Structure 1
């Protein structure tokens, strides 16, 4: 939260760090996310890198998304310890800054990657021939991923160049990122402009682009006269991705903006609500492998093989080898149909 005082914190702010129920809830959510995230995304990364070929533009985006999810999962254990120590950071300013940037940059890179996947699907379904050559180049995907990371790191540059720890003598703790020093930026107006820019660049604009692309794809598939079960599944999965995006990322970013407005102008706070919504948003990293791969026979087949389960039927194995039923495969089939029409 932003400390609007140059000296000590007010009583309302101090009380936030003594809410044991919220702290326990956040710790439980982070623990569940860490376990499911590392297992699910670890399996996904293994399949993407070693058992998925060719590496299309969509697959490269998925590798980037899975990588960001794994990095988020790797950062969460430190947050769990921090919560259990009642917001007392003991690893020093350098580690605080590194893990904070790692946490938020990976979350917002996930948002930008989901947007990029939406743009790719939009171009493939709505304009299948016009952008075919650009989408076929792996370099397009790699450069797009590098651009995403560059944008996020540029936005968070002010946080990378300052000490994000704050000692609270009244409670005998040192927080990490939970209290931002007012003198980190020249004025409250600069703070407001900076935090509003973070909201717009890393959430609001991607939200608009993602919503437009996915809604356009859904409408295109719904209008297609040749309705098939495969297209219906693709439509449902596309709607699910959009719903998950809105459900997990929108609340924490809207609360972030509301908290800043109330903190700067009304000396009030929504910070604990924001912290809870932020932990809830991390659940998205657990759902990505299920959303994109549990619809795939090939994924189930490879997973059972890896776990050495003998329950894979020969029929399912044959079908898995013949066709991938993931979201991307279904949408690619819809794309090819549109191109022929």
Structure 2
């Protein structure tokens, strides 16, 4: 989730008593303005960067390899957040007062949650593709045909969405708005009714499932894949621009996980334990960590730049940074055959050279 805090689990409205941390956040004008400004900047960069990325990936990148399919999926989720963020900005500027009704609150909450976790799972899938292409190139090429790779990638995207929606199912069946008489505001997913789930055990299962299955496990898999890729590339004595670019790609991906996803999910887990079992909270810290998680949607285009050779070429040509002639293109394909053949559209050239 990118823009909503982990809610405080409350009872009915009559026995509502806000703790000091919650009151401090809801009454802090400076915090609301700061978060709103960050979201405004993210929205602009998100829509411009991902709009350009989507245009290049769909209409100017061919063939559609598994990596490209995963990138398109990632761009779709990022653009959904860019479209939804203005509603969150308005909510913040109005003092956490939601005026668009329960249905819209549920839809936007689901958008933010789904984006975050689909992004994590998609980046894991891209990491697995890179691992197979660099660490197990012969086995990956010989046992899985091009058409089958595309089919697996498309099915994987649907499975990711299905898994995330299954875990987040409680959010689709509950009124996520909550009226606070003390402040005369209606929050959207900043506080939830205890009866949303039947017991503490159910709450713990729901929250720990998000952290473990949708963050911790994918993070471990992605880290393993990219560390192995770095070690493999480091062993090659040939110092090339393509090798350096591939290593930079790994660094960018791990940086996104470390800066954008890890603080948010670690605080999610910590806050959940404190709130469920000790009636304490890290509400303010968790809310502020969401600003970092939003940055992911702005950094993804940089991942595409390092991951996809054809994306780089088209972007440079569009920005008049370089003109790629057919001869230059052939040279680039030859040079990048080892490092990016299984990353993008040069898979076919790699197969021929092997």
- Picking from 34, 49, 52, the partner of 1:40 is 49
Q: Distance in 2 between matches of 1:268 and 1:124?
A: 47
Encode CA deviations 1:223-282: one digit per residue, 9 max, x unaligned.
224443321321222122212221111001101111111112222211121111112211
Please report the TM-score for the alignment, with normalisation by the length of structure 2.
Answer: 0.87
Q: Distance in 2 between matches of 1:5 and 1:328?
A: 60
Query: 1:203–1:253: 8 Å Cα contact kept in structure 2?
Result: yes
Structural mapping, 1:94-173, within 5 Å: 94-132=103-141, 133-134=143-144, 136=146, 137-173=149-185
Encode CA deviations 1:90-133: one digit per residue, 9 max, x unaligned.
00000000110011101110010000000111111111122224
Encode CA deviations 1:268-302: one digit per residue, 9 max, x unaligned.
21112111111221111111112322787855664
Residue 25 (str. 1) matches residue 31 (str. 2): no
RMSD between aligned alpha carbons? 2.7
Query: 2:74–2:119: 8 Å Cα contact kept in structure 1?
Result: yes
Q: How many positions carry a matched residue from both structures?
A: 336
Instruction: With a CA cutoff of 8 Å and minimum separation of 6, indicate the structure with the bigger relative contact order.
Output: 2
Query: 1:134–1:140: 8 Å Cα contact kept in structure 2?
Result: no
In structure 2, runs of 5+ residues without a counterpart are 1-6
Query: 1:88–1:174: 8 Å Cα contact kept in structure 2?
Result: yes
Secondary structure, in 3 states, of the residue corresponding to 1:166?
A: strand
Query: 1:3–1:179: 8 Å Cα contact kept in structure 2?
Result: yes
Paired position in structure 2 for 1:3: 9
- Picking from 49, 54, 60, the partner of 2:69 is 60
Structural mapping, 1:65-84, within 5 Å: 65-84=74-93
Q: Distance in 2 between matches of 1:189 and 1:56?
A: 43
Query: 1:75–1:102: 8 Å Cα contact kept in structure 2?
Result: yes
Query: 2:338–2:350: 8 Å Cα contact kept in structure 1?
Result: no
Structural mapping, 1:191-270, within 5 Å: 191-270=203-282
Please report the TM-score for the alignment, with normalisation by the length of structure 1.
Answer: 0.90
Q: Give the CA deviation at 1:339.
A: 11
